[in-house]
Structure 1
């Protein structure tokens, strides 16, 4: 038996189909024009028994450099804590090319006060060496209050401002000096194809510039080198850093360091 539909029913059916097609096309165009969610920005995290902090890659790189320079000069962790607190107050641990009057760099040192040329002061290795050279001349800098030690070096208008950064500075120092293993973790968005080749040799040369000898003589020193390498992973296109049975990989889903086969005599980069 043949079913017969009235002209009105057929008209309604056609309208429904047209509307459905129109809605589908409209949704497709909207979705097509809507950008995909932006990937997370590169970042670093520091986790120690004293607490946890999140850093920008630049901040992590500078923090790692300060620790490396301190190791070269055979300075105690207290010196690193003072340097970090000073850098937090002066520049938020960033290599600024501006500041009050002619102040520039991580520690906002001034050319007019004899710290060096602007080009030199914009080099974190040079600036850190100048800071430590002044700090070790401060009598009892290891024992006096942090703000006093920092102010003796900086001679700023508000020397009291360094003290509030001491707790955070201790967290960073525990991690970047290598005293607390596996405490530095970074991630950066993978590059588009073709991916850049790791520049491990260049990374080692730059570390040697800050640290002098990069020979691993103690596990603490090894973890300092490992932390420096992770902090600079994006800069040198590193996707893996291994040391002392643990491996960092550039994986957003990875929670900290993973078990690996790396030995205790060498930090492996890839």
Structure 2
């Protein structure tokens, strides 16, 4: 049998190289889609149903921070859980809970709001607290929005070209809203490993709390900041650079339609959602404790000295962060 000609061999090599290039392009495209869609590119977060039905939702630390902000802005206005669910479902559809600086025409941010349509300046819209506030401003003007199907309520705010798309996010949004409004206790966890360039220290935690909840979260209750106990604990740092932020759960929360445990769990879940961004190592509330970096990623009975006793009541949330 005659040997294949050199030109045939070259064509074979070129075909194999071309096929390999196509595979690499497909892989790169898949990774880009996963990134844009909020795929888990690093330490992950997870929320589970408090109803025991096995429902779960997994998302990235970036998405967790943005979801916690949306919920905090809503409850800060004394809006019901339904409003938070609608807002979260909308942001899941519009941006996959990522604060993106691009979109259709001049659309920007979590809710893909357009400066040309009066939603604010580009800088304002790229502020998650501002954009969430603008969404709620428009939502509360929709008559009987809490009784409308979610997709109808969202569409009356967004005026989307795909009005039915919001509905598919309602189950995940409801899970997130239950945890991030405190209705569901000890259901949100994150791995909590900080990334490069993350903020650190008690002052960063305080600033983020004020950004999302307003100054009332610290005053007049007067959250206390001090050095963490030097006694050994499950996550004590070797160089003694831990700090503690104590958040008293104000009695006035009941007047806003929330019980003390609900408010406390909202603050505790907010802290866990922000753990990677703010270098939070431990959160304790109502006798339960979350510790960053645990492989099982669970809330457990408090074991830290100073947490197992005083934190069994629902009067305060204890956040330990690294300077």
For the criterion TM > 0.5, the same-fold answer is yes
Does the aligned pair in 1 maintain the 2:194–2:279 contact within 8 Å? no
TM-score (normalised: structure 1): 0.80
Q: Deviations over 1:139-172 (max 9, x none)?
A: 1100011111000000111111111111111111
TM-score (normalised: structure 2): 0.67
Residue 145 of structure 2: SS of its match in structure 1? Answer: coil
| Worse-matched range after superposition: 158-167 or 109-118 | 158-167
Partners of 1:258 and 1:71 in 2: CA distance? 26
1:267 corresponds to which residue? 317
Matched, 1:211 2:198: no
**Count of residue pairs brought into register by the alignment:** 228
Larger Rg: 1
Q: Which runs of no fewer than 5 residues in structure 2 stay unpaired?
A: 1-40, 218-247, 251-259, 303-307
Does the aligned pair in 1 maintain the 2:42–2:60 contact within 8 Å? no
Partners of 1:255 and 1:237 in 2: CA distance? 16
1:44 corresponds to which residue? 45
Does the aligned pair in 1 maintain the 2:180–2:270 contact within 8 Å? yes
Partners of 1:102 and 1:199 in 2: CA distance? 36
Matched, 1:117 2:121: yes
Partners of 1:115 and 1:228 in 2: CA distance? 26
Residue 164 of structure 2: SS of its match in structure 1? Answer: helix
1:204-243 superposed matches below 5 A? 204-212=206-214, 213-214=216-217, 216-217=249-250, 218-243=260-285
Matched, 1:163 2:167: yes
Where in structure 1 do 4 or more consecutive aligned residues deviate above 2 Å?
188-192
Partners of 2:126 and 2:160 in 1: CA distance? 19
Partners of 1:265 and 1:138 in 2: CA distance? 36
Give the drift of 1:85.
Answer: 0.9
Q: Which runs of no fewer than 5 residues in structure 1 stay unpaired?
A: 1-39
Does the aligned pair in 2 maintain the 1:41–1:189 contact within 8 Å? no
Partners of 2:154 and 2:96 in 1: CA distance? 15
Question: CA-atom RMSD, angstroms?
Answer: 1.8
2:187 corresponds to which residue? 183
